[in-house]
Each structure stands twice: as structure tokens, then as C-alpha cells.
Structure 1
């Protein structure tokens, strides 16, 4: 009889720690010799036969291996933790979470794209209030417009967390570009992947991954926080629906080719009449007024008009009368995307201002070394990390299929608050320079305000959190 090779190599030190008797260590270090031919034949116990001695030694060996493997695993875990802690200190990975290799790669790819492609265009796009076509094209070429889309349909087939990381990294450089990527991925692509028929998925997801921008059309003049007070109508006419009405505050609408439009097929049924349609621009969608905004100016936000737009009946996404369910569920997911935007914005402002604190001197001292200043930037650093934890936690819950609505609302609420505080502080810390348009801080300050407004105001987030807490504690 022979012993099998162990699954992991056991060092001499591990053997010693496992308290294996000395006379077994050399033998077990090689583990190639059958017991009945082992050179360690001198024993201190009388054996009735070779078989009995063999059984005893095998028992001893098995016990040793269990202890040695346990110690080896402990040592491996300690080494990994040491490496992880060192990486955190260097800033190689964000703290409070771990990423898969694919997610870390996605984060790094997007960070390089933001630095090399987006950064040189930020000021110009903000000034002109227009998204540079080269940036839009670059998003598609980098694979950032179909992050969760299956590979066979032209996407990257990555995790939801990967999409959130992409949004965060883009927002560190330009929240406007981050918004485009976020809406396109977490709202439009997700609706098609989750609710659309196979035919619609095969038709539109490849286009959305390879070059056509999508937008999500829910909000109307009378339907903001009360999202289901829709006035846009969809009337059945043979094998088509005829859409009539208007939408406003529609992100990406200036560049979009594919529109997810929510309209009611039967006003008498209230929210149960709401239906989602996939509408192409050349079906007759009219891009009306483009809003002039405080922040995220390069992101197009327009009003839309539907004047008897004929849409094929097969372009109904999901079921007729079930559009409200799509909207509710997708907006809950979208809040995690907004949290990631605000998280990235806060981190971007922080990263831009901190070096200045250790270059600028007043009264012969670096301003970053004054205790009052130290307390301020330490506090903001804590809040950014807390926002990151909330955001990543909500993302993980969502992709694991666990309840995440409360956590998404918490993440969106808190991250938007932190973004306001971080960007405001950053402007103040840099003094007069921070107030100028020569530096990105004033733009971060303008861009952050939308985080407390779209995809549910801060009060709506609080209401959502309170509603779920009330239910949890009354059950």
C-alpha cells in the first residue's frame, strides 16, 4: 500500500508546527516509499504484525496531514491578508471590498480610458454643452456600452459590479460621460436583457453594444416623483401601436437612436395600463428643447415629442400593461448607478485637491499639516469610503439576487450627500483657485447637485428606506 501525494506541498516548518514525531518527518517529506519498505523501522511499541504497524503509522500520518494542511492554510491566509493590507496602503485596490480579476481589470481599463480619452475633452465638452463624438465612439470601442450584455450579442458579459466600477471610474474624470454610460448600461441594456423577447434582444442588444446609444423615457411634465401619472398614450392600430405625447428630462436623448418609451394603453386602468415600447429614432421621435443645466452639461437632456409615432406591436417590451413593473424594478437598480456616479465624483474632487494641500504653504507650514485642515480631509475620506461600502454592497446584493431596494436607496442618498460635501470642501480648500474654471473643482461642485434629484429625490430615497424598515420591524 502506498500513500497518495498531498494536494499541497507541506514545508518542513509546517511539519514541525504540526508536531509530527521526528522519526516520521523525513519520510513524510518525501512520501514516495511504501510503509512496508520504509527505512524508519525502529519503533517503540511491540507490533503483532506488519499490517498492524502499517495501520498505526497510517493513522499517525493522516492525523499529521490534517494538522499540517490546516496550518498551511492558516499561513496562506495570513500571507494573503498581509498582501491585501499592503495593497490597501499603496492604494492598489479600494479598501472595504475585494474584486475579482475581471472586475479589477475592468476598473483599470476604464481608468486608463478616462485619463487618455475623456480627460483632454472635459473642459471643451462642458463649455460647449455637447458630448464629443470621439468620446462616444471610444466608449463603444472600449466595450463600455455593453458591459453586462452576453458575448454572443456583442457585449463584454461582465458582472453588474463591473458596470458600477466603470461608472465610478468615469465619474472621477467627468460625471457627464459617466451618466451616458450609466443610463445606457444599467437602465436601457438591463431592460432589454431582463424583459424583452428573444427577438428584441437579438435585434437591439448588438446595436446597443456596438454603436447606437439608448435612452430611458419615463418622466413627463406631470410625472416626476409620481412616475406613473403618465399622459403619453399608446393606441392599438392593427399590428402597430400609435404613440402620442411628450417626455422631458430624458438623458442621452440628443445622441440616442433607441428609446425605451413608457406610455399607457388604457388610462382607465391607471398604472396597470402602462406599457414599455422599444422605439427607434427614425420611427418619428422628435427631439425638442435641449435643457441648459447647472451641471453635467455635456450630457444631453432633452424634451421629446411623439406625434402619432407608429411602433410595431412586436416592439412591446415585456407584457402589455406591465410597464410599471419594469420601471419600478429598473429604477431601483439605477439608483446604484447614481450612487456610483456620486461616489466617483466625490473621489475625483478629493483626488484633485489633496496634492495641493501638501504643496501650498501659509505661515511657513503646508496647509495640509494644519490640524484644522487635517480633521476636515480625514472626515471627507471616511465619508467617501463609507459611500463606497454602501454602493458596492448594494451592487453585490443585486447581482446575487438578494433584496437590495433599501440598500440601493441608502447608497444613492448617502453618496449624493457625500458628493456635495466633498466637492464643496474641495473648492474651499483651494481658495480662490478652486473658484475658477481653470481647475475641475468648480465643475465637480456643479455636477454633484443632480445626484439629489434624478432617479428619485433624496426625500423619495428616505421614504423608500422608511417604508421598508417599517415593514421589517412590524413583521
Structure 2
């Protein structure tokens, strides 16, 4: 289905056309094979970097694309509509570049051209096995020892755990609570950083996630990002942007499910009538289309606030909540439109449905998004 987009510049239109070409030619054809083999598409992600798609919202002086967030998010949407794994990889990597790009030292920022160009892939190590949504209670500790920090602890649910070249590690350098947390930038090959066995996940099979054990890992002191005790604030600001990325991934996934269901309903006949012409199916498709359009509009509205330097944290939470809930509903309904065929792997909608579930969980569960939104209402 063609999406009627209003873009800020002609360059943005060219960028989305390039994204569509790459997604159609390089991503969609390999998705099923990589999912079946549980193989992370590192070369495909490197290709996206060389095409300039991994650093879009960051300044050109650091090797980024200098694009507004509303444009970057529509790139993510197109990628997700072809293969969610690729879009999620871009979103996570963009999140992982945020600490250095926003508050990194001059020396640290020398790494940005390789980060934003995709030669170095990043991971974001915040969650822990026992912490869940309570990130301020993290227990991974980094103790200063001469010219290094010694890191001990365990992180959980880490995307790119086995494929990343660098990790953002949020660890406790001080007392309890958010004020005791700092951010460290570590090379993935640092001794004492040990990714564990991949989790057996419901979806996103080509993007394995794992716990990472830190056992006396020595991270040079000059890899402290920002000041000691500022890590929690860095993490939360990054997550505001990351939630918009996940919202756009959800919109793209839902659009793919809608398009597939509509095409199927136009071609499939029952009792001599096309499925799409049965009111029960047609109304279901109409609701799906309306929800996808609404999710896209809500997500881009939040992005435009960000682009104009306006507060957007609550709007990002709304977008992430609504778009990912929409993806879950729309992919489930797409399976229903296909009936028995929707339940088998011959058609991609069963994969879309499995993938949609994780989007309601990552970058803060949708229950956490409701907490953020309700607290903003309570403050007035």
C-alpha cells in the first residue's frame, strides 16, 4: 500500500526511496532464511551503515546524516515493513550511539564516524535479570582502580550481545538510587566481558539476545561517558528517543501485516465472493488501516516535538504505547483474515504476530509507558 507522506525536504523523499530500494532488494529476500537459521544479518546492517542509514539523526560533523527525527523514523518504518530484525538493529544501534554523541568527550567522539557508519555495531547494557523495569535499582558495579573501572555484574536482554563491537554499560559507581549510576563505553573484546548463551525467544530469531556477564572487566577510566553519577539521566534521555524508534518499528510491522491481509482478502474467494467483500472482513481491515494510520500520526507528532526542541517524553510514551499495542492487534487480526493459512509459516503473518509481542516489552514495557503518562497527568 502506498503511504502518502508529507516530508520536510526533497532530500528526505530521496532518502526514503533509497531505503525502500535497499529494503526490497537486500533485506526482504534474505529475511526468511536468516530467521530459520537464527543468523544475525551483520553484513546487511553494515550495508545499511555504508548507505548512511545508521547515523541519520546525528550531526554531519560526526559522520551522521543530519536528518530530523521525523525522517529517521520513517526510514525505520520502511525497514520494519520488510524485516523487523533490520529495523530493530538500526534502532538499537542508534540508541547505543546516543551517550557518546550527546555527552561524550572529544576523544570518545573520534569513534563516532565508525559508529555512525556501521563499521562498529553497538549494544545498550541497562537491564538486569532482577531489575526488570526498575532501572534505578541496578546492581552491576564499577569500581575505580587506578586508570580503569573494574566492572562486575550481569546485564540481561541485550540485543547484539554476540555481535556488537562496543557496549554502553550502565553501572553503579556510587551509592543507591539513580544518582549512583554512571555510563561506561567498553570495547566488546575487553577481557571479563562474556556474553552468555542466546535466549530462546518467541520472535526476532535472527536477532539473538543474551545476558552478558561482567567478571572483573577493566574499562579504561577515559571511557567514562559524561560525569560520574550522570548515567541514569543519560539512559532515560536515550530511552525517550528509543521509544520513538520502537514505535516506528511497530508502525512498519503493522503496515506489513495490513498490506498482506488486504492482498490476500482481495484474491481469496469463499462462496463465490472475495473475502474483502464480506462486511465482517472488510470492517476488520478498515479498523486495522485506521489504527495503523493513527499510530503513524501519533509517532510523527512526537518526533516533530523533539525536532523543535520541545518536551516530548510523555508524547514518546504515548506513541510507543499506542503503536506497539496497535501492532499486536493488527498482526493478530491479519492472522485471523488468513484463517488456517495465517497459522502456518508459509505466510509471514504468523511471524509478524510473534514479533509484535516483543515491541510491547522493549524500551520500557507498555505498563511503564502508562506510568509515565499517568504521572504527567497527575502533575498537571
Same fold flag (TM > 0.5): yes
Structure 2: gaps spanning 5 or more residues: none
Corresponding position of 2:349: 441
The structure 2 residue matched to 1:355, chosen from 245, 263, 266, is: 263
Paired residue total? 379
Per-residue CA shift, 1:243-262, capped at 9, x if unaligned? 11111101122210010000
Tell me, yes or no, if structure 1 residue 431 matches structure 2 residue 339. Answer: yes
8 A Cα contact 1:149 1:205, kept in partner: no
Q: TM-score, normalised by structure 1?
A: 0.77
Looking at CA atoms only, which structure, 1 or 2, has the larger radius of gyration? 1
8 A Cα contact 1:189 1:205, kept in partner: no
Corresponding position of 1:70: none
Tell me, yes or no, if structure 1 residue 183 matches structure 2 residue 79. Answer: no
Corresponding position of 1:153: 62
Corresponding position of 1:217: 125
Structure 1: gaps spanning 5 or more residues: 1-89
Corresponding position of 2:170: 262
Corresponding position of 1:116: 25
8 A Cα contact 2:63 2:112, kept in partner: no
Alignment map for 1:394-473 (pairs within 5 Å): 394-472=302-380
Moved more, 299-308 or 129-138: 129-138
Distance apart, 1:269 and its partner CA: 4.1
Distance apart, 1:364 and its partner CA: 1.4
Corresponding position of 1:132: 41
In structure 2, distance between residues paired with 1:136 and 1:227:
29
In structure 2, distance between residues paired with 1:203 and 1:262:
19
Distance apart, 1:93 and its partner CA: 2.4
- Give the 3 Å change call, closer, same or farther, for CA 208–281 of structure 1 in structure 2: farther
Per-residue CA shift, 1:222-258, capped at 9, x if unaligned? 2211011111111111121111111110112221001
Corresponding position of 2:291: 383
Per-residue CA shift, 1:285-332, capped at 9, x if unaligned? 211121110011111211111111111111111111110111111111
8 A Cα contact 1:103 1:161, kept in partner: no
Tell me, yes or no, if structure 1 residue 93 matches structure 2 residue 1. Answer: no
Tell me, yes or no, if structure 1 residue 303 matches structure 2 residue 303. Answer: no
Q: Secondary structure at the match of 2:117?
A: helix
Q: Over aligned residues, Cα RMSD in angstroms?
A: 1.5
Q: TM-score, normalised by structure 2?
A: 0.96
Distance apart, 1:189 and its partner CA: 1.8
The structure 2 residue matched to 1:274, chosen from 176, 181, 201, is: 181
Per-residue CA shift, 1:145-187, capped at 9, x if unaligned? 22123334333222222221121111101111111000111x1
Q: Secondary structure at the match of 1:131?
A: coil
8 A Cα contact 2:321 2:360, kept in partner: yes
Distance apart, 1:219 and its partner CA: 0.4
Moved more, 341-350 or 351-360: 351-360
- Give the 3 Å change call, closer, same or farther, for CA 101–190 of structure 1 in structure 2: farther
8 A Cα contact 1:177 1:298, kept in partner: no
Per-residue CA shift, 1:447-467, capped at 9, x if unaligned? 000111111111111111010
